Amino acid sequence: MEKTRRLARVWEVGAVVLLAIGFIVLAAGLSADWLHQFDVRIGSAVHSVRNEGLTSVAEGVTMLGKSVTDAIVFVIVALVLLLKWKQRGETLVLLIGTVAAWALNTWLKGIFERARPLDFLVVEDGFSFPSGHAMVSSFFYGLVGYLIWINVRDKWRFAWLVPALTAVLIASISLTRIYLGVHYPSDVLAGLAAGGALLLLCLFAVRTIGLRRASRTGSIKTGTQTESHKVTL
């Protein structure tokens, strides 16, 4: 069991490093022609399918990545975590991580100061790189999905739907930012990389909290059984 945990940590560290490298490559290439060509080609392909119906859907989906929506979802999830599953530590990780994701995104945008695309369908203020919707949503909904999954995976036969729907939600929110013309594709990829790295770090924290809770619970049960055994004797 311990060997499996160590191997998992190695993979997680490797994934964080790869995501960080990906972000750095995108950031370093902001003024490069190859990245400009990439943004133009992907952006044009996404924009080519624009129509009134899809635009209405995109505007609705992108609202799920707004800070107001995140706050509402957080309150609901936090109440479930605290009242039903008694997981204060996990709730705190979700809160701190989400605030950190928004703060980090604001800081990064201030560093790179990339102007937003001009072919937009909705008006957004602030800088473009990295995408706040992609970064915060990949972290926030990723962690929310994980917290729900670990609590229902042994009780619900369709628990596999939770990570699947979470991935679809994150991808959909991210794609709407390109479709609506408020972000370049590279903005979205950078946001996903940064948000993914932060998510992996917080997943480690959540698992550590869970292991410590299980350890304490095991100690209490063992102590109770030992005490009962002494009385019986």
The pLDDT value recorded for residue 208 is 93
CATH number of the structural domain spanning residue 23: 1.20.144
* Structural domain range at position 57: 2-232
Check if the beta carbon of residue 184 is closer than 8 Å to that of residue 43. yes
The pLDDT value recorded for residue 2 is 72
Report the alpha-carbon distance of residue 135 to residue 109 in Å, rounded: 12
Report the domain count for the chain. 1
Report the alpha-carbon distance of residue 223 to residue 90 in Å, rounded: 26
Per-residue pLDDT of the chain (233 residues; tens, 9 = 90+): 677 778 888 999 999 999 999 999 999 999 999 999 999 999 999 999 999 999 999 999 999 999 999 999 999 999 999 999 999 999 999 999 999 999 999 999 999 999 999 999 999 999 999 999 999 999 999 999 999 999 999 999 999 999 999 999 999 999 999 999 999 999 999 999 999 999 999 999 999 999 898 888 764 433 444 343 333 33
The pLDDT value recorded for residue 218 is 67
φ/ψ of 198, rounded to 5, equals -65, -35
- 10 Å CB burial of residue 172 (0-12, 13-18, 19+) is middle
The pLDDT value recorded for residue 129 is 98
The pLDDT value recorded for residue 1 is 66
The pLDDT value recorded for residue 140 is 99
The pLDDT value recorded for residue 222 is 36
